[in-house]
Structure 1
Amino acid sequence: MAHIKALAIKGIMTLIILYLVLGLGFNFTFGDALLMTIVLGAVSYFTGDLYVLPKWNNITAALADFGLAFLVVWLVGMPLSMGISGGKLAFAALISAIIIAVAEYFFHFYIMRKDLGNSRFLEPRSE
């Protein structure tokens, strides 16, 4: 249940950021922002929040989330960006990634407080 709550918080946070930046700033649809949120949320929660954060530190995890956000917004945005040039799309991805990385830095405090990064399914098996 704690992971579902964390994913919901992360999803709402990411959707708001992506819609404000991409939807209002670069004319992406709400559906485009939602699709990017789902892809980014699934990838970054397991890699950045549950794998990188417990093994390294908050700044490293936020930087990993920055890279993931930039790549996801840029790559998923390519087929969705009707008429936006590659440079403008990269700029949109950069702005989105910076804001998401800052938000993720603070979200990681929640993850650490709830001790979600030390889940049993992330531990190597010793059989």
Structure 2
Amino acid sequence: MRHILPLLIKFIATFSMLGIILGLFNNFSIFDVLVISILLTAVAYVLGDFMILRRTNNVMATAADFGLAFLLIWLLSRNLTFQDNLVSASFFAALGVTLFEYVFHRIIPRSANHTVRAKGRQHSGNTGRSTSRYETEASEDLTPVRPDVRSKKDSEDQKNT
């Protein structure tokens, strides 16, 4: 239920951006733009927002979203249309989607889909990355020795103390 609003926002923005860039400037049909938008929204939400953004920061996730958007738009437009110059159309469409993705990653609250509530993990602000805190334990015993492997000298020293 908490994923519906981010998915809806992402779909509307992607559909609008691709409708302008691909539909108006490159004469793609509304059906082609709709299919590309649905698939791009689903794949980018799962791969970009859940897998990459959780493990990296916003810049890395946005760069991955650009590559993903470019490849997906180019492959789908190659199969759906008979247009020429699909590389430049895919590049500009991916650039427009990437600009939205950068803002989307910063606007959507982290509690909606990026918080990690595992024990020992802590949320680190706007980066979307969770880091573990490691602590060192120290003790007085540097070399633990079991009583059955002590030498006679160790046993005598222990009795004298």
Give your verdict on TM over 0.5.
yes
- Structure 1 or 2: larger helix share? 1
Secondary structure in 2 aligned to 1:16? Answer: helix
Secondary structure in 2 aligned to 1:28? Answer: coil
Partner of 1:19: 19
Report if the CA contact (8 A) 1:49-1:111 is conserved.
no
Largest Rg, 1 or 2: 2
Unaligned runs of 5+ in 1: 121-127
Q: Give yes or no for the alignment of 1:116 onto 2:113.
A: yes
Unaligned runs of 5+ in 2: 118-161
Partner of 2:60: 60
Secondary structure in 2 aligned to 1:19? Answer: helix
Secondary structure in 1 aligned to 2:114? Answer: helix
Partner of 1:10: 10
Question: Could you state the TM-score of these two structures normalised by the residue count of structure 1?
Answer: 0.86
Partner of 1:95: 92
Secondary structure in 2 aligned to 1:2? Answer: coil
Aligned pair count? 117
Deviation digits for residues 17-70 of structure 1 (CA, Å, limit 9, x no counterpart)? 001000001100111011001111111101101111111000101011101110
Q: Give yes or no for the alignment of 1:44 onto 2:41.
A: no
Cα separation, 2, equivalents of 1:62 and 1:4:
21
Cα separation, 2, equivalents of 1:94 and 1:119:
34
| Percent identity (aligned) | 41
Cα separation, 1, equivalents of 2:41 and 2:113:
15
Cα separation, 1, equivalents of 2:25 and 2:81:
12
Question: Aligned Cα RMSD in Å?
Answer: 1.5
Partner of 1:73: 73
Runs of 4+ in 1 over 6 A off after TM superposition: none
